[in-house]
Structure 1
């Protein structure tokens, strides 16, 4: 039975573990965090990814956890309302669509429940990958070295697997000029299934109610050239946000005050990963590790779900991993490229109907049942 080590237990890694087991393989997941990561933003499952979720038997459960919104408003830096809509929201598009906006942690929890019996190595990470003709020997930070048939990096845009096999991140990361943070807070604003966005062209963000209005997700962002910072130093990242957005008006000073106490704070650049190939020998990449589209696209989760499904399916079709990896890339690349292009849309100035049209075109731009040999 083929053994596959998956690095990363977020959307791509958890979905891949499910589909590999469906194909009769034995997945093992290694995750740096001590448990499934909490927090994170509201994410969207759209188009072809809804089909993947349906085939996992999770569509109805995801709908039950869907984040419902009655609309949005846009404010300037003093808190004056520029416009509002009860039909459209920047985070999710048309409110009457079949898309599912769900918290990242809720989606991962649903998929993880489907993976009962899958081996997880929490609190550990890969330190070395040694490829041989008939397998891969992997060294870990804590666990003893182990041998696998294949290794898949599903460890995000700052992928450790990619660095070990393909080289420095700087070769593949393309900064889009923006940094974004997100964290949770109780709904002290009393938002009623509503999103409030604010922007002055350089500084911006949003606050939205989630979990049936019991919580908020607060987003703070700013435009900047690339900044050098430690991805693991959360306090330094919070300081970067405070330094850049502190002069913004409305409720933002209160957001910053609460940010310092947030335990699920996330911060990163809006950047895309672009690579000529996602595979090297017995190692391949999936999700953001291979082709991060940036949250600005609204399609990262869907790309991860679809990529995991196709990769597992292609591995199940043949005993030759090289052939499977090549088929996986041929099927996914056009889908990735059209969805990465969505991140270039200025959703705060473009007509909502045009934004929705382009998203609808992109989210269905793949045939999950097509065979490419």
Structure 2
């Protein structure tokens, strides 16, 4: 059985791993000419994704590439005294297991685990998908697949091709995210510097193995911002306007906008779809149920979705009419929970009032000051994220000998 996966970031390679483990023949198509190494930002793997990565045999590599960020210095806007907090304690309190890793590093690790068993087509993109599985590409000759899976992110090409008026699924949180790569002149190693004000938060961190640093910007806007997601000069202009005069640290980070080798900007948007499947096509990760970049544990959700989708396809012997609904049933509660976590996180990380700024600072100080046991108990009682991540149980999907695919078919038309 031949399956085409669109997208080679994180969800795509993770899905390819589990599909090939269940003996499906997999092709992954990626628009970029090679595996993306564009700077990226740190992503979180919480307990479910950590366990899945362990099952994949790649957890040691992930832990080797972990950012090691464990200290936070938080500057409430207008206050002279910073708050210092133990980030590792906060993360441990919110999830039994947690690893922070750069997105590009995680993508590479998952790709390395699959490249010998799955076919990768770089520098190409899907242009049309017919109901019978005929797929047209920008460059490659047409090919027929039994199933097509969109793992191509918030701006999914597959979703755009298959679902009518797909923009109706977008639900803006009113917040925006910017990330840029810049020199680590402060020598940050395991440290996060965070400036928090009303409606805006800016941070900088450095990973010990990177050699450079990342600046992260989160802000709110009362009105939807006017920009195109490919108009980088306009995005940088908006970022400068949102953070002007916040702090000398932030001004220096913004000075790097015209020199940065890597820049990312987007709205923090959620996707709400009644179904992620249509005919032979389904969606996984941010392409189908993005909870909001940088807020809702979208990376962990994507890894979990890939694992469940492949497992349900194997359990149904490749019958998508049984597997797709089962996949959606299993993931529904997790997706709903992640959406709620993202909205809650947005309120906390991008405060809407002076009281909210003080509350974030005092909360970080309190969790950091308490012993590990009480701090963990407090966070689990008061945060949706702790309840979500620690409640997920993984079903076991052993390889099914009934699956009719043969890896020797890989790449056949």
Give the distance between the partners of 2:89 and 2:211, measured in 1 at CA: 19
**Cα deviation per residue 1:227-266 (whole Å; 9 max; x = unaligned)?**
2322223233222212322332221221112122222211
Note closer, same or farther for the CA distance 1:95–1:300 as it changes in structure 2 (3 Å cut): closer
Q: Which has the higher contact order (CA 8 A, sep 6+)?
A: 2
Q: Does 1:365 align with 2:391?
A: yes
Give the distance between the partners of 2:300 and 2:185, measured in 1 at CA: 31
Q: Does 1:246 align with 2:244?
A: yes
Give the distance between the partners of 1:131 and 1:213, measured in 2 at CA: 45
Taking structure 2 as the reference length, the TM-score comes to: 0.83
Between structure 1 and structure 2, the one with the greater Rg is 2
Q: Does 1:205 align with 2:202?
A: yes
Q: Which residue of 2 aligns with 1:106?
A: 105
Give the distance between the partners of 1:69 and 1:120, measured in 2 at CA: 33
Give the distance between the partners of 1:81 and 1:95, measured in 2 at CA: 26
> What is the deviation of 1:56?
0.3
Q: Which residue of 1 aligns with 2:184?
A: 187
Note closer, same or farther for the CA distance 1:85–1:253 as it changes in structure 2 (3 Å cut): same
> What is the deviation of 1:342?
0.8
Q: Which residue of 1 aligns with 2:313?
A: 315
Give the distance between the partners of 2:340 and 2:51, measured in 1 at CA: 22
Give the distance between the partners of 1:151 and 1:109, measured in 2 at CA: 23
Taking structure 1 as the reference length, the TM-score comes to: 0.91
> What is the deviation of 1:163?
1.1
- Consecutive unaligned residues in structure 1, runs of 5 or more: none
Q: Which residue of 2 aligns with 1:74?
A: 74
Give the distance between the partners of 1:187 and 1:276, measured in 2 at CA: 44
Q: Which residue of 1 aligns with 2:157?
A: 160
RMSD: 2.2
Q: Which residue of 2 aligns with 1:347?
A: 348
Q: Which residue of 1 aligns with 2:290?
A: 292
Q: Which residue of 2 aligns with 1:51?
A: 51
SS in 2 for 1:30: strand
CA contact (8 A) 1:208 1:218 kept: yes
SS in 1 for 2:204: strand
> What is the deviation of 1:119?
1.6
> What is the deviation of 1:202?
2.0
Q: Which residue of 1 aligns with 2:26?
A: 27
Which stretch of structure 1 is more off in the superposition, 21-30 or 211-220? Answer: 211-220
Give the distance between the partners of 1:198 and 1:89, measured in 2 at CA: 20
Which stretch of structure 1 is more off in the superposition, 107-116 or 237-246? Answer: 237-246
CA contact (8 A) 2:69 2:88 kept: no
Give the distance between the partners of 2:331 and 2:209, measured in 1 at CA: 35
Out of 222, 225, 235, the position equivalent to 1:237 is 235
Which stretch of structure 1 is more off in the superposition, 286-295 or 355-364? Answer: 355-364
Give the distance between the partners of 1:232 and 1:140, measured in 2 at CA: 22
Give the distance between the partners of 1:10 and 1:96, measured in 2 at CA: 24
> What is the deviation of 1:268?
0.8
> What is the deviation of 1:124?
1.6
CA contact (8 A) 1:72 1:88 kept: no
